[in-house]
């Protein structure tokens, strides 16, 4: 009797750590490319229509202050998946491939570590950042037991195309179009010709819905990669129609917002982006850009719903951890820019929620956490061997008590350029004498740079935050050789990733 009672207690205590192999939970990780906090449950924009993510949030811990390791896909995802921060590996930009890092060559990535420790890993859609190598394409295909290339599209209604780069408004080429330069993916939107059934993310979601009907003899780790709301914003018309232009609101911004970010000589360091200048010429165009992003968010939400409905109707519903996140934030006019790649809050903060099988209610966590924390957290949740070398820290204690004390977190943009985010203050240094400090409690839009303000509050905040700046950081690793004529998947990578050898 006594013995049984003790056994029962141990079982209760280990409900979330699942140290017994046959009780290890399954994992569904949903990565949504360029999704910011414009999700109902996160409150970033009350106009956002996201019923499926909101439903998942009803039984999750919602991290309101989750940050990215680096504010673009490549460094953010490489850090999350390798477990090492950009300043540890030198993977600071999209052109750097994590596989060129010696550290990553020696250590298993997150899915490989699960594969190595008894899980079946399954992936489709964008999880790893894509690279061309000298032998083909690196999609991160090598990191999974089961991997399938995504496909789909559905053509465009070109008579409704808007493209800044091509100077096209509502399908018409504009004469002497302005603001057509500037890098990155085309700043464009249009409805697709076909319905959602023909689109890539929807097909990816359906593939997972089928995978969730199958039987597995091991616990599984599914990585679902959704590519919208990444530019260009091409989704079916039905999603655009959900946001009426007459009532649509655009984000708040100040036209002189960048004037207080200066170098040591007092010279301004930032200027409005081409995307911003283009839409800001015409209020309707600005609204159409916001409408297009929201339409893409709602489309992504519907894809999340396909996976979640399948999971909830499967035999895995009671024993699966669900983690959903955007890979970094996204500006839509704030700080006079669109897109990402800044150290401002709009780009460093992202939506993240975690649902453990036993969770039945929505809880908010305001502590500053980071995607770098997911690798050690998943090890912790699934009872895998600890890996102290990882840069992140398990946030499982916050899943149990979202109010417990925590600490600031760091986002890294390049050698010496860091954001240190706390709940009430945000410090930024570019490593060249340009710095910013924002009082988030009184200035959540980060409009007033307090770096030169003389007050005790500012002095104390700076002292507290600058202590978290990494003491050591590496230079960017060189960009490796590519052969852009290669169109096939690089099959030479997997044989080099011997799971028995990888740490
Ligand atoms: Ca991204
Ligand atoms: Ca300002």
Q: Please report whether residue 5 resides in a domain.
A: no
**Centroid of ligand 1 to alpha carbon of 186 (angstroms):** 14
**pLDDT (0 to 100) of residue 183:** 78
Does the pLDDT of residue 6 top 60, yes or no?
no
Residue of 120, 76, 93 whose CA lies nearest to 183: 93
Does the pLDDT of residue 7 top 50, yes or no?
no
Does the pLDDT of residue 35 top 70, yes or no?
yes
Give the number of whichever ligand sits closest to the CA of residue 450: 2
**Centroid of ligand 1 to alpha carbon of 463 (angstroms):** 32
**Centroid of ligand 1 to alpha carbon of 153 (angstroms):** 19
Residue 246 CA to its chain's centroid (Å): 31
Does the pLDDT of residue 14 top 50, yes or no?
no
Under 8 Å between Cβ of 346 and 252: no
**Centroid of ligand 1 to alpha carbon of 429 (angstroms):** 22
**pLDDT (0 to 100) of residue 485:** 87
Under 8 Å between Cβ of 155 and 148: no
**Centroid of ligand 2 to alpha carbon of 259 (angstroms):** 6
State the average pLDDT over residues 400-427.
Answer: 98
**Centroid of ligand 2 to alpha carbon of 262 (angstroms):** 10
CATH assignment at residue 421? 3.40.720.10
CB atoms < 10 A from the CB of 178, how many?
A: 12
Q: Please report whether residue 231 resides in a domain.
A: yes
Task: Report residues near ion ligand 1: CB below 5 Å.
Answer: 33-34, 73, 327
**473-496 per-position pLDDT tens digit:** 999 999 998 888 888 999 999 999
What residue numbers bound the domain in which 145 lies?
Answer: 23-476
State the average pLDDT over residues 419-427.
Answer: 98
**Centroid of ligand 2 to alpha carbon of 442 (angstroms):** 14
Q: Please report whether residue 503 resides in a domain.
A: no
**Centroid of ligand 2 to alpha carbon of 450 (angstroms):** 9
Is pTM beyond 0.85 here?
yes
> What is the rounded average pLDDT for all residues in the chain?
94
Name the one residue in this structure whose structure tokens are 């998942």. Answer: 56
State the average pLDDT over residues 239-261.
Answer: 98
Does the pLDDT of residue 10 top 50, yes or no?
no
**Centroid of ligand 2 to alpha carbon of 273 (angstroms):** 15
Strands 409-414 and 369-370 come out as: unpaired
**Centroid of ligand 1 to alpha carbon of 307 (angstroms):** 20
**104-122 per-position pLDDT tens digit:** 999 999 999 999 999 999 9
State the average pLDDT over residues 256-265.
Answer: 96
Helices and strands per DSSP (H, E), number in the chain: 14, 22
Give the number of whichever ligand sits closest to the CA of residue 437: 2
Does the pLDDT of residue 458 top 50, yes or no?
yes
Q: How far apart are CA 118 and CA 21, in angstroms?
A: 9
**330-345 per-position pLDDT tens digit:** 999 999 999 999 999 9
Give the number of whichever ligand sits closest to the CA of residue 262: 2
Give the number of whichever ligand sits closest to the CA of residue 447: 2
In order of 5, 195, 239, 298, the CA distances from 49 in angstroms are 48, 19, 10, 6
Q: How far apart are CA 79 and CA 124, in angstroms?
A: 19
Count of the separate structural domains present in the chain: 1
If 0-12 CB within 10 Å is exposed, 13-18 middle and 19+ buried, where does residue 315 land? exposed
Q: How far apart are CA 326 and CA 316, in angstroms?
A: 24
∠ CA(32), CA(23), CA(108), 5° rounding? 50
Under 8 Å between Cβ of 408 and 465: yes
Under 8 Å between Cβ of 463 and 454: no
**Centroid of ligand 1 to alpha carbon of 431 (angstroms):** 24
**112-164 per-position pLDDT tens digit:** 999 999 999 999 999 999 999 999 999 999 999 999 999 998 799 999 999 99
Give the number of whichever ligand sits closest to the CA of residue 185: 1
**Centroid of ligand 1 to alpha carbon of 3 (angstroms):** 52
**Centroid of ligand 1 to alpha carbon of 319 (angstroms):** 29
In order of 27, 31, 129, 321, 489, the CA distances from 317 in angstroms are 11, 19, 29, 9, 34
If 0-12 CB within 10 Å is exposed, 13-18 middle and 19+ buried, where does residue 495 land? exposed
Strands 26-32 and 220-226 come out as: parallel
State the average pLDDT over residues 203-215.
Answer: 98
**Centroid of ligand 1 to alpha carbon of 428 (angstroms):** 21
**310-319 per-position pLDDT tens digit:** 999 999 999 9
Contacts of 496 by beta carbon, 8 Å cutoff, 6+ apart: 105
Residue of 281, 229, 250, 275 whose CA lies nearest to 31: 229
Q: How far apart are CA 446 and CA 419, in angstroms?
A: 13
**Centroid of ligand 1 to alpha carbon of 458 (angstroms):** 33
């Amino acid at each position: 009797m006594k013995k049984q009672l003790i056994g029962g207690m141990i079982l209760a205590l280990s409900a979330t750590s699942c140290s017994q192999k046959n009780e290890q939970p399954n994992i569904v990780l949903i990565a949504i490319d360029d999704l910011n906090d414009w999700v109902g449950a996160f409150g970033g924009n009350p106009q956002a229509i996201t019923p499926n993510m909101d439903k998942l949030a009803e039984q999750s811990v919602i991290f309101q202050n989750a940050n990215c390791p680096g504010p673009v896909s490549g460094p953010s995802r490489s850090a999350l998946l390798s477990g090492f921060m950009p300043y540890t590996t030198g993977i600071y930009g999209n052109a750097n491939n994590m596989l060129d890092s010696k550290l990553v060559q020696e250590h298993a990535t997150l899915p490989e570590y699960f594969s190595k420790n008894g899980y079946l890993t399954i992936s489709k859609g964008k999880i790893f950042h894509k690279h061309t190598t000298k032998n083909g394409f690196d999609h991160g295909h090598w990191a999974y037991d089961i991997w399938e290339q995504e496909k789909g599209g559905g053509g465009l209604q070109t008579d409704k195309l808007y493209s800044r780069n091509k100077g096209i408004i509502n399908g018409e080429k504009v004469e002497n179009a302005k603001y057509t330069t500037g890098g990155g993916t085309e700043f464009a939107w249009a409805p697709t010709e076909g319905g959602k059934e023909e689109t890539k993310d929807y097909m990816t979601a359906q593939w997972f819905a089928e995978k969730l009907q199958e039987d597995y003899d091991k616990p599984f780790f599914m990585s679902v990669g959704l590519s919208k709301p990444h530019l260009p914003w091409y989704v079916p018309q039905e999603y655009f129609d959900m946001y009426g232009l007459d009532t649509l609101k655009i984000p708040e911004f100040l036209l002189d917002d960048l004037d207080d970010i200066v170098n040591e000589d007092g010279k301004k360091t930032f200027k409005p982006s081409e995307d911003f200048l283009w839409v800001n010429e015409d209020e309707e165009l600005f609204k159409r850009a916001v409408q297009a992003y929201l339409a893409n968010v709602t489309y992504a939400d519907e894809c999340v719903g396909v996976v979640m409905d399948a999971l909830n109707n499967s035999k895995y519903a009671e024993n699966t951890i669900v983690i959903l996140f955007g890979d970094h934030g996204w500006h839509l006019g704030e700080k006079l820019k669109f897109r990402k790649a800044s150290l401002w809050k709009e780009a460093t903060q992202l939506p993240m929620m975690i649902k453990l099988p036993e969770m039945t209610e929505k809880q908010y966590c305001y502590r500053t956490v980071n995607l770098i924390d997911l690798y050690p957290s998943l090890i912790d949740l699934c009872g895998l061997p600890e890996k102290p070398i990882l840069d992140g820290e398990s946030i499982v204690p916050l899943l149990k008590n979202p109010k417990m004390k925590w600490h600031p977190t760091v986002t890294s943009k390049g050698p010496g350029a860091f954001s240190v985010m706390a709940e009430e203050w945000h410090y930024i240094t570019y490593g060249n004498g340009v710095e910013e400090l924002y009082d988030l409690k009184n200035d959540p839009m980060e409009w007033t740079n307090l770096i030169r303000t003389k007050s005790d509050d500012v002095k104390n905040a700076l002292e507290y935050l600058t202590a978290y700046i990494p003491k050591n950081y590496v230079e960017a690793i060189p960009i490796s050789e590519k052969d852009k004529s290669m169109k096939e998947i690089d099959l030479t990578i997997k044989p080099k990733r011997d799971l028995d050898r990888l740490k």
